[in-house]
Chains A and B, each alone.
Chain A
């Protein structure tokens, strides 16, 4: 019995060793595999900005426009834009846009005020930064054939190409200079004309942007891009009734001409536009206060509505 138990002990020990060997055999031959990924997203960010045009000592503040005035020939009647054209030239014979200058103000003449400023709107969802997204222009003391010249731009400072659309346009008449009590009106009654600088590097884009903003944009070659101001314009009865409907009914695209591709800006691209807003000869516009607002939405290029 004692011998028999001695064999059993050996067998037990052998079993333990065997089991250990079996375990080692099962642990061999394996591979560890890892798939790791990092994802960064682009940015969609558009800004408005304004360039200081008036560098005179008297108006050295930043972000200001330049007061300009035209000197129409005696007896001239009509909206300011009609000064452009073969039969509507100013007395100096220059083209329409160039006729409105700051140097036309004789020394000592009071000039309109042409202020401007950038601010930040309340940011919304999805990284709508809001920074520099509001451009405010303040024009004061305008009189017929006098107004302001501004240089403003729309820039894509994000990484994703952006398309722009007009989402709201509204013209108002206000009761006083606080612009607090205002009544929405038909933008066709706005008593001013807007002209684009013929030297703008990207004139079609400027026409698309500012044409839908101010209406009635006349190019230097008498081509009517938008006849907005209630006048008959030159040749085309194309009308933009700013403020009649909002958003502008033809659709949420900022494009020029109609049915063309919407205005698009790639990363670090800007559309810089110089324009002049000139008060028309309008006997109902004396001592009045007007306001207009245009809001745009920048969409990523592949999600444009």
Chain B
């Protein structure tokens, strides 16, 4: 019995070694290769800020040239309008709010459009849209030459029977390009005319579309890509 036990042990060990050898022999040769890639995309973003607003109720206001001279300060000077206040309404909208205005009132601010993304953009599709609770609806596309005046409504206080209730003016900056973190700035002018109705809200929207530089129709300020 003792002799058989030794033999059995030997055979078992031999079997284990044989199986191990078989196992390695059946494992294929191989190489594992990995290709990994991380991709991050940039951002196209902007923020509008309208600088400290001014109006012609300010005693230091000096109405020089058009359109300021067309809306001179009242004499004697009044201070009855509320505001103007200037505040953001989300990242892509800025509100300039004035109340209790009257014919001859004007307000303005300096608009800055900052590139807060990573991709340079061109300013496109500049537009002024005026709507009023009295049904006023005026739209002006700013498609003139670079730095020309873009207006909506009729200039000057006018009369009770002609013109538009509001006059808006800004510069035509279509095509201008802004890299991050630079900005583009222009003056905004809003005047209230004689024909404006009492107790009415007029909403003025200045619209801009920003397009990434390589997809823009523009090469630069006022320079359209050749077709």
Contacts and interface: CB of A to CB of B under 8 A. Distances in A.
Interface of A: 44-48, 69-72, 74-76, 91, 104, 108-110, 112, 121, 124-130, 133-146, 152, 154, 158, 160, 162, 164, 167, 174, 177, 179, 191-192, 213, 277, 279, 281, 285-300, 303
A130 B118 CA distance: 38
B32 interface: yes
A44 B31 contact: yes
Given A110-B180, A143-B214, A144-B212, 17 more contacts: A44-B31, A48-B33, A74-B217, A74-B227, A104-B214, A110-B179, A124-B32, A127-B29, A136-B38, A139-B40, A143-B119, A146-B214, A160-B29, A179-B38, A277-B37, A281-B215, A287-B43
A299 B28 contact: yes
Nearest to B213: A109
Given A128-B32, A129-B31, A293-B36, A76 B41 contact: no
Given A48-B33, A299-B30, A138 B43 contact: no
Interface string B57-80: 000000000000000000000000
B31 A162 contact: yes
Counting chain B residues whose Cβ lies within 8 A of the other chain, the interface size class is: 20 to 34
B4 interface: no
A240 to B, nearest CB: 15
Interface of B: 24, 27-44, 118-120, 179-180, 212-217, 225, 227
A297 B30 contact: yes
A88 B129 CA distance: 36
A169 B34 CA distance: 10
Contacts of B214: 69-72, 104, 143-146
A160 B31 CA distance: 12
Contact of B30 (A71, A179, A213, A298): A298
20 contacts: A44-B29, A72-B214, A74-B215, A110-B120, A110-B179, A110-B180, A126-B24, A126-B27, A134-B34, A136-B36, A142-B41, A145-B214, A146-B214, A213-B35, A286-B41, A287-B42, A288-B40, A289-B38, A292-B39, A296-B35
A285 B119 CA distance: 13
A110 B41 contact: no
Contacts of A146: 214
B31 A74 contact: no
A88 to B, nearest CB: 15
